[in-house]
Amino acid sequence: HSSQTQKGEGESISILLHGHLFDTGLLNQCLDVLELNRCSFEFLDCTVQYREKGQDPIKSRVVLKVTASGEDVDLDKVEGQIGALVDAILPAEATLSRLDKSGLPTRPAYVQGDKDKTVLLLGSGRVSRSVVDLLGRSKNRKIIVASNDEAEAKDVASLALRGRHAGMDIANDRPRLQKLVQDSDIVISLLPATMHPKVAELC
């Protein structure tokens, strides 16, 4: 971790988040903090491990490049706010660290394992585009984007090599959601935090 304060338009830091980032809503809230502080972000790495049916959730890993939009943006302060979130959301069991240039990952984002996998992504908001763009680069991975907004889901799914979409009422169409979950190897929820328990019951 660097204690040097970095300010100014175009200044950036890279941070590593490790924990239960998706199912607890932690990642979404971290990105909200960046937006409120007028920072742009880029996913440099996103690792979601394969989980057997009935197995306990496995921690995910995300590396974000955070860039200040103006001279008045204090990236150390922004990092501190994200750290406070990490400490506050205990179920995430998460850690936060800043990476220097030598610590940046050079490999692309991936879901671990070479076998054909189906990834179900619930939600089609702004975070979903980055996740699908990263995870959808492998020909061994089918990405299904499910959302209340079918047109938006279709648009996001098109970013993957093997993407398809499902327009549905996620909150109320439990039988269809259950079928999608059962047919998937990995489920990533980018829904509002209040929806996560309902999804977790089906996994």
Q: What is the C-alpha to C-alpha distance for residues 9 and 28, in angstroms, rounded to an integer?
A: 24
Residue 112 has pLDDT above 70, yes or no: no
Per the prediction, the chain carries an average pLDDT of: 83
Residue 74, beta-bridge partner list = 7
pLDDT band at 9; cut points 50, 70, 90: low
Contact status, residue 70 vs residue 9, Cβ threshold 8 Å: yes
Burial bucket for residue 190 (CB in 10 Å: 0-12, 13-18, 19+): buried
Give percent of the chain above pLDDT 90: 39
* Opening angle at CA 47, ends 82 and 88, nearest 5: 25
Q: What is the pLDDT averaged over residues 128-132?
A: 86
**Residue 51 pLDDT:** 62
Higher pLDDT, 164 or 202: 164
Residue 3 has pLDDT above 60, yes or no: no
pLDDT band at 50; cut points 50, 70, 90: low
